[in-house]
Structure formats: C-alpha cells, structure tokens
Structure 1
Amino acid sequence: MGSYTQLNYHIVYATKYRHPSIIPDIRERLYEYIGGSIRAKKGSLIEIGGIADHVHILANLSPSLAVSDVVRDIKANSSHWMNDRTEIKRPFEWQKGYGAFTVSYSRIPSVRDYIQTQEEHHKTTTFQEEYVAFLERHGIEFRLEHLFEDEQHG
C-alpha cells in the first residue's frame, strides 16, 4: 500500500514592524517568487495574497518536510529577493514568527476566497486584529505583549 497525503496549510506572516513594504509594483513578482520557493520544497501554491504589511499563503506541503523549515526558507529567500529589488527603498525583513493553520480539503475554496479578498477585508480590520482572531479561532494560547515586534521593543 502506498502513502497518500493532502497537507494543506494557511500560512500568515508580516513584514518587520508591519511596515507597508510590499508595494503594488512588486507584489505579484514577490508572490511568484514565493510560489517558486514552495515548488522547490516539493509543495504547491494554491493561493497567495495579502496587503502591504503581510502575506497569506495557502499551500499543499510535502509530508517529508517540517512546516517550520519550509516557512523559514521561504521567508529567508524572499527577503533576499526583495532586498535585490531597486524598487524597495529600505532594507526588507519579515517579522519573526508566523502562523500556520491546517486546512481541510473541503475548505480550500473558502480560504482561497478569503485570501483573494484581502484588500477589501483590511479596509475594516488591521493585521493585528486579523492575526489574533486566527489564533483564537484555532485555540492557540498566546500573550498579546509577545505577539508582535515593534520598533521600540524589537
């Protein structure tokens, strides 16, 4: 008997200090680069989106790799890629940490729709509010004072 998996993750992470660093002129190319990074790790990108201060990724990942390793490599590689772009006027970094939530195959369409409508969603909700809601919805314990880096406290 063979081994079969369907390991889908909704991954969310922000820019350092949530600076609006993902400018529209480069956003699609960044997303393409991240998709290539996921494919290089034996995964497949299902959907990607976000706004200037964070990204949402819906991906099917290989069971042979740890989610933490995949996310670490995607963040590191895409940071280097962003810093090589002349359009970026300040050093680019992702914030430490990330959220990764499993997604049932039957929920993929609704998560895709959610990611595709980020611009609209964030007209009324900040990234911080959205992220806290994700953690609460998934029963993840956290301390708010340790959740986000800011420029004053790192």
Structure 2
Amino acid sequence: MANTYSQSYMHLIFAVRNRNALILDSWASDLEKYITGIVQAEGHKLIAIGTAHDHIHIFIGYNLNNPIPKLVEQIKTSSNKWIKDKKLCPFHFSWQNGYACFTHSHSQIDRVAKYVLNQREHHIKKSFKDEYLSILKKNDIKFEENYLFDFFEE
C-alpha cells in the first residue's frame, strides 16, 4: 500500500531441546550464517545473531508482512534439517517448542545488537535460566513455570 511506513525491531530467543549444549564452536558460525539466509529470504533484516551452546538470540528489523510464528517455524525446521544433513551434531538435535519475542525501539539497536553478539561471554557470568527469567520480568511478561523452556540444574 502506498504511503505506508513501519519500523519494528524484534529480539527472538529459543533453546536447544532439553537445553543440551549441542551448538559447537566448530559450526556455530555456519549455523548463524545459515539462519541469516533464512531471515533475509523471509524479508527481514538481520541486525545481530548470537549463539550460545544451548540457545540462540536473533535480532531483526521486522517485516510486518511476515508473521513471527512463521519465521520462527521456518528457522527451526530448516536449521534442524541443515544440522542433520550436514551431520554436524553426533546427538539428536532439535529446538525446544516455543520461543520468546521482544520488541525494541530504534534507540536500543546498538545496545541489543552488542548484547546478542556477546552471548558466549555473557553466559560465563550469568546462566541462561537467570537471564531468561530476568528478561521476562523486566518486560513484565506473566508466565507459568510449566510452560517455560526445560531448565535443568546447572
């Protein structure tokens, strides 16, 4: 539609099933490149992507014509298949059900991008569970423990 403008930034987070640390350093960068291709093919702008061994953060300029659930499903199914086809993981790899999605303003782009790009270093100091619960609370998101990612004692 003519004269329609939008600007939205979304921060996606999802975890490996059972929070297994299956994303290895040897292929994490290739996974990030592969997922970047999916994000761009779906019409979004990748701003930053960062993997930890058991989860991933993806920060995008969001194309409102492509719903987030569709994008997440595409990323999860395609990357699962890619990991299996390339035989990158000696164990059964899959993503957990569900995901988190948070909006950010234009003024937060640099801060969020730096945060996403430094996931491995960040989690030396703070566990994924602590971080995730903190983000939910900071964004005033009501949640039920039963429906969170599977968190196992560190």
Q: TM-score, normalised by structure 2?
A: 0.92
Residue 113 of structure 1 corresponds to 114
Q: Provide the C-alpha distance between the structure 2 equivalents of 1:117 and 1:39, rounded to a whole number of angstroms.
A: 22
Counterpart contact for 2:129–2:151, Cα < 8 Å = no
| Pair 1:68-2:69 in alignment | yes
Compute the displacement of 1:34 (Å). Answer: 0.4
Distance 2:118 2:151 in 1: 27
Deviation, 1:50, is 2.4
- The match for 1:125 is 126
Which secondary structure does the structure 2 equivalent of 1:123 belong to?
A: helix
Distance in 1 separating the partners of 2:59 and 2:77: 18
Q: What is the match of residue 10 of structure 1?
A: 11
**Alpha-carbon distance, 1:5 to partner:** 1.3
Please give the alpha-carbon distance, in whole angstroms, between the structure 2 residues aligned to 1:15 and 1:91.
10
How far apart are 1:149 and its partner, in Å? Answer: 3.0
> Partner residue of 1:101?
102
In 1, distance between residues paired with 2:147 and 2:100?
Answer: 14
Which residue of structure 2 aligns with residue 49 of structure 1? Answer: 50
- SS of the residue aligned with 2:43? coil
> 2: CA distance between counterparts of 1:150 and 1:118?
18
Indicate the residue corresponding to 1:39 in structure 2: 40
- Aligned residue for 1:2, secondary structure, equals coil
Partner of 2:88: 87
TM superposition shift of 1:97 = 0.4
Deviation by residue 1:51-99 (Cα, 9 ceiling, x = unmatched): 1100000011211111111111111111111111223101210011000
- 1:58 corresponds in structure 2 to 59
- Structure 1: which 4+ aligned runs deviate by more than 4 Å? none
* Structure 1 residue 150 displacement after superposition: 6.3
Tell me the distance in 1 between the aligned counterparts of 2:40 and 2:122. 28
C-alpha RMSD of matched pairs (Å): 1.4
Residue 129 of structure 2 aligns to a residue in which SS?
helix
Determine the C-alpha separation between the residues in 1 that align with 2:120 and 2:78.
25
